[in-house]
Amino acid sequence: MTKEEMRGRTVIWTVYIDSRATRSQGRKLPLSEAVESPSVQEVVKAAEALGLNPSLDEAPYPKNWASVRSRVVVDKRLGRIGTLRAIANKVREMRGVRAANTGA
């Protein structure tokens, strides 16, 4: 995708919301909000359900540039982390898994 096509959009790699990945491996969400082993198809379906206009793309993952993986490019409506949280919550919902209790 060109820079112009990326305007107003953000890249979602599955590792960003994967609870099995460490922060140094690329996880962006806290464990309490992450999802175990999300697939690219789950991320695409979640983004579609949220109306984020997803598109699938193949590119080298920045932390491991020798490995070409699928990534999902979505509209950035909730900010980057907000978008990741919404997608992780939707994947969890689609799986029928409740969110971990985060306090109270």
Alpha helices (runs of H) in 9-79, residue ranges in sequence order? 40-49
What's the pLDDT at 22? Answer: 94
Q: Kindly state the average pLDDT of the residues 75-85.
A: 93
- Cα–Cα distance between 50 and 29 in angstroms, integer? 18
Q: For 1-104, where are the E strands, in sequence order? A: 9-12, 55-61, 64-75
The structure tokens 């579609």 sit at: 48
pLDDT digits (tens, 9 = 90+) for 34-74: 999 999 999 999 999 999 999 998 888 887 766 778 899 99
Give the pair of three-digit tokens for residue 25: 């491996």
- Cα–Cα distance between 86 and 66 in angstroms, integer? 29
Give the pair of three-digit tokens for residue 68: 């070409």
User: Global pTM?
Assistant: 0.83
Please return the burial class of 89, using the count of CB atoms within 10 Å of its CB with bins 0-12, 13-18 and 19+: middle
Structural domains present in the chain:
3-95 (3.30.56.30)
Percent of the chain with pLDDT over 70: 89
